[in-house]
Amino acid sequence: MKFLLSLSSLFMLLGTAGFGQTGKVFDDLSMKSEILKGARKFAIYLPPDYETSNRSYPVLYLLHGAGDDQTGWIQFGEVLRITDKAIKDGTATPMIIVMPDANTGQRGYFNQGDWKYEDFFFKELMPYVEKKYRIKREKRYRAVAGLSMGGGGSFMYALHHPELFSSACPLSAYVGPLTLEQLKAQIKGSGKKYTEAEVKTYFENHNAVELIKSMPEKDLKSVRWYLDCGDDDFLFEGNSLAHIELKKKGIPHEYRVRDGAHNWTYWRASLPEVLRFVSEAFHQY
């Protein structure tokens, strides 16, 4: 009888421990990059059952904004608390979240001159984390999201590689200079020299609205799109133009404009919806 009571107590304790299980974040990880000629940091969120299961998980690449680094979504975005709650509530499926560091001034997530960050992301970072962690590698189980500069990165990565992502969620995104003339003015202010053809090519390949205009509809439709930008955000125009262009081409997408500005209060409120949205693709209802 005493033995049975002890077993019963043990099961209760195990059940309580499982119920209180939480995810984990590691915010100071690094990997060697041959492309960027040095070590690059990244952070990762592992779901509550990662250490107690043997299964593989879908992955969300979550990109920070200018001035932040790989810790931004952890420290200010509260990714651990928000994702744990979404998984517990059943509004999000357990997933791994990878948060790379692109804290490089204004060069960010794109290839610019000798800064080949986009090449690093696809040729080194993605293969590295998807081999090191138990990540499902099919398009269906991969998504990308980000805020501001990282919102621009989310647009570009999904537009450049629609075959790799099931969902893309740009938040308060910097879509790029809105006109070719704006880009020319930026370049002139930097003191760098480029030919007219080089500037035009860069604009066409790094402006989300221009890419949406030029891409085949089948490629755009192969990605699920979720755009979100506050009504007081200084980047509202570019996000609105991207929405309008998607609408013109008949591309299904979600477009949200809520009360708010370009700040973490807005993005923390966005994250639960992002997790829900990408989980719909992961589940394939």
The model's pLDDT over 96-110, given as tens digits with 9 standing for 90+, comes to: 999 999 976 656 898
- Which pLDDT value is given to residue 106? 57
Q: What pLDDT digit, counting tens, does each position of 53-64 carry? A: 999 999 999 999
Q: Which residues pair with 147 in a beta bridge?
A: 171
Q: What is the largest CA-CA distance in the chain?
A: 86
Is the pTM higher than 0.85? yes
Q: What pLDDT digit, counting tens, does each position of 199-245 carry? A: 898 899 989 999 999 999 999 999 999 999 999 999 999 999 999 99
Mean pLDDT over 75-86 rounds to 98
Closest CA to 98 of 45, 40, 52: 45
How far apart CA 24 and CA 50 sit, in angstroms, is 9
Tokens in use for 102? 């692109």
- Which pLDDT value is given to residue 185? 87
Closest CA to 65 of 54, 78, 76, 49: 76
How far apart CA 285 and CA 45 sit, in angstroms, is 25
193 band by pLDDT with thresholds 50, 70 and 90: confident
- Which pLDDT value is given to residue 256? 98
Q: Which backbone phi and psi does 76 adopt, to 5 degrees?
A: -100, -30
- Which pLDDT value is given to residue 104? 64
CA distance between the termini of the chain: 48
Tokens in use for 31? 């990997």
